[in-house]
Amino acid sequence: MPKAPAQPSGPPPDKKSSSGFAAVLEEIAAMLLLVGQAARASVTRPFVWRDEFIEQTFLIIRRCFIPVVISTTFFGLGAPGLQGGNITYILGTVDRLGAFFVMASVREFAPWINGMVIAGVGGTAICADLGARKVRQELDALAVLGMDPVRTIVVPRFLALGLVTALMNLVAIVFGLVGGWLAAVPIFGDTSAGYLATFGSNFTMPDLLGSVIKTSLFGFIVAVVCCYKGMTVKGGAEGVGRAVNQAVVLSFVGIWAFNFVFTTTMLAAFPQTGNLS
């Protein structure tokens, strides 16, 4: 009796996952290409994006200012403020809570919350706007008229998000410190002078510059993801909603990954910023 042919020992290759991985690589490459096109268009004539850049800057500030203030104040009070204050209270060193907020607010907490808010509020609005234009074929109409959509639409939003995220980071730092003060002084009995003194003695310029640069790059990450997703929408109104959801998730992942790499690099380059006294 003839033997049955031997079956392969391993599972068959998953073609769906392979094609999915290839699609992810294609999207990353397309986003990098969009970054290059936007960077080139922003420094070459004609500078048709200037008026739109100013309008988008004020629009993003108006949308994101109050969410950033509320988020950083209450998260500053809740997570690093109450939890960090409780630990310092147990150890009898409540006056060191200000030093802790150099790391919690300036270096990590405020930039991260700021990036999340900008992505969730400003980025989604941009993605939805561009997606709606794509569905209505407005972007195709611009190309037919000889206008570059990257120069007229992407560049102003790209620059506006990079600028606004850095500016809003300063607001986030201030209100994050306010949240820490609400925990340190009224709740744990520290003095305002002690809180600010320990903060000031540990605060360094690399901390501030690193925070501003990092958040500006957060804005560029959000901009390229949201603009790309908005300009490649398929499937009508349902596709716009799907693109917005994907843009938020990808922006969050990009911010988390870049934050880890940037902070690790900064601490290696400026080790004194990691010492709290």
pLDDT computed for residue 13 by the predictor: 45
SS3 235: coil
Query: pTM for the full model?
Result: 0.86
Q: Which residues contact 102 (CB under 8 A, 6 or more apart)?
A: 199, 202, 203, 204, 207, 276
Contact 115, 72 (CB under 8 A): no
SS3 13: coil
Report the sign of the C-alpha dihedral through residues 118, 170, 65, 70, in that order.
positive
Torsion of CA 120, 164, 45, 224, to 10 degrees: -30
Q: In a structure prediction context, what are the per-residue pLDDT tens digits for the chain, which is 277 residues long?
A: 455 544 444 444 444 444 678 888 898 899 999 999 999 999 998 888 999 999 999 999 999 999 999 999 998 888 788 888 888 888 888 888 888 888 888 888 899 999 999 999 999 999 999 999 999 988 888 888 888 889 999 999 999 999 999 999 999 999 999 999 999 999 998 889 989 999 988 888 888 999 999 999 999 999 999 999 999 998 888 999 999 999 999 999 999 999 999 989 988 888 877 666 6
Q: How many Å apart are CA 31 and CA 4, to the nearest integer?
A: 50
Six token digits for residue 24: 């992810």
The span from the CA of 148 to the CA of 167, in Å, is: 29
Output DSSP code: residue 147: -
Best CA proximity match to 109, nearest among 23, 207, 185: 207
CA angle 60, 63, 68 (to 5 degrees): 100
pLDDT of residue 7: 45
